[in-house]
Amino acid sequence: MNKHSSSTRRYPRNSPQAAANIVALALISNGEVKPSEVAVLEAMRVHEQLGLTRLEWHDVVHELCIDLLWSAAHGTDCRIDGRMIEQMLAAIDDVALQRLVLRLCTAVVNADGRVDDSESIVVLAAIDHWGLHPDEHELLEPLLYGLDFQVTARSTRRV
């Protein structure tokens, strides 16, 4: 990537770094990284699941932050736009890797017990871009309905 471009750097298709870049985006999308989010990623050994060393994982997160801050320092918003998300998602076309990234992103956005709009945008964009297998519909419920959403049977008794 041209260091002076307003978009994020590009990684090779289906590379561990391309996958990590999306998880990193979910991690920082609301503008803060909470201890509970870091703890979940550490417990899940995110770097190992993605095929990276701990240092390589931290480098991807750091590089994403640098790219976003560079954009802000050069007159463009530091916001994560749809074009940028699509570019990042397009770098992953391996279905197994997509599902891994989706599980990791969902875990990180659910880690603090609250799903911010900016966090759900990243995960929902991935679901939309990659398609969602019916077995993974439970990933959507917290994003669409909130973490405290529960289905309960309706009473047949009229009140």
> Which pLDDT belongs to residue 4?
40
> Which pLDDT belongs to residue 68?
81
Q: Give which of 21, 28, 6, 5 is closest to 108, Cα–Cα.
A: 28
Neighbour-count burial of 114, counting CB atoms closer than 10 A to its CB (0-12 exposed, 13-18 middle, 19+ buried): middle
Tell me 114's DSSP state: -
In a domain, 152, yes or no: no
Task: Supply the CATH number for residue 70's domain.
Answer: 1.10.3680
Q: With beta carbons less than 8 A apart as the criterion, state whether 110 and 44 touch.
A: no
> Which pLDDT belongs to residue 15?
98
- Domain of residue 96: give its range: 16-145
In a domain, 153, yes or no: no
In a domain, 141, yes or no: yes
Each residue's pLDDT expressed in tens, for the chain with a length of 159 residues? 344 444 567 899 999 999 999 999 999 988 889 999 999 999 999 999 999 999 999 999 999 988 888 665 555 555 667 788 999 999 999 999 999 999 999 999 999 888 888 888 888 899 889 986 545 555 555 555 555 545 555 555 554
**pTM for this prediction:** 0.78
The count of domains in the chain is 1
> Which pLDDT belongs to residue 83?
84
